[in-house]
Chain A
């Protein structure tokens, strides 16, 4: 069962790598920004598989942090590109 889980992790890793290659080859910034989300989902899957295969529950915590920070990174990327950002934080509304 453990080697099956490792093989599944390798398979998911390969699909993530292929997805990254596809993303990289496109010239638009918008496509590059999808890389964070791709790695967040795929990385979480790989780490969860590794956690069960290595019988170490601490690795699930790594998957949790990876998911959180991939989300944070994706938001940071998109915010950098959207034209409606203003520079002065005093314009912030939404209270």
Chain B
């Protein structure tokens, strides 16, 4: 059973790390601040989500698992809000502002 959990953790964490890489590549290659925001918040968030899910079997009891999930939820919430606010900034100042 532990081996199955370990394999699950390894795959999920690897997937999360790959999504972080994809997010950075998106930051690099996308042409516009508005498109880069997608790469930044959505893709990186998904990476964090995969890592959190992968580490849940190794969490410190129910409280530890709840803490991990709440970290992910807080980052998602802040990502969603900050994206909207940054988009308003881009609309006001222009993409080169």
Contact = CB atoms under 8 A, between A and B. Distances in A.
- The answer to whether A and B touch directly, with their CB atoms under 8 angstroms apart, is yes
A84 B80 CA distance: 20
Interface residues of B, number: 51
Contacts of A16: 20, 24
A27 B40 CA distance: 18
A75 B82 contact: yes
Interface in B37-68: 37, 40-41, 44-45, 47-48, 51-52, 55, 58-60, 64, 67-68
A75 B97 CA distance: 18
A6 to B, nearest CB: 11
Interface string A39-59: 011101100110010000100
A60 B64 contact: yes
Secondary structure dominating the interface of A:
helix
Interface in A35-82: 36-38, 40-42, 44-45, 48-49, 52, 57, 60-61, 63-64, 67-68, 70-71, 74-75, 78-79, 81-82
Interface of B: 6, 9-10, 13-14, 16-17, 20-21, 23-24, 27-28, 33, 36-37, 40-41, 44-45, 47-48, 51-52, 55, 58-60, 64, 67-68, 70-72, 74-75, 77-79, 81-82, 85-86, 88-90, 92-93, 95-97
In the complex, the 3 A-B pairs of residues with the closest C-beta atoms, listed nearest first: A71-B78, A78-B85, A57-B60
Interface of A: 1, 4-5, 8, 11-12, 15-16, 18-19, 22-23, 27-31, 33-34, 36-38, 40-42, 44-45, 48-49, 52, 57, 60-61, 63-64, 67-68, 70-71, 74-75, 78-79, 81-84
Given A42-B44, A60-B71, A75-B81, 9 more contacts: A12-B47, A34-B37, A44-B75, A49-B13, A52-B59, A64-B70, A64-B71, A67-B74, A71-B78
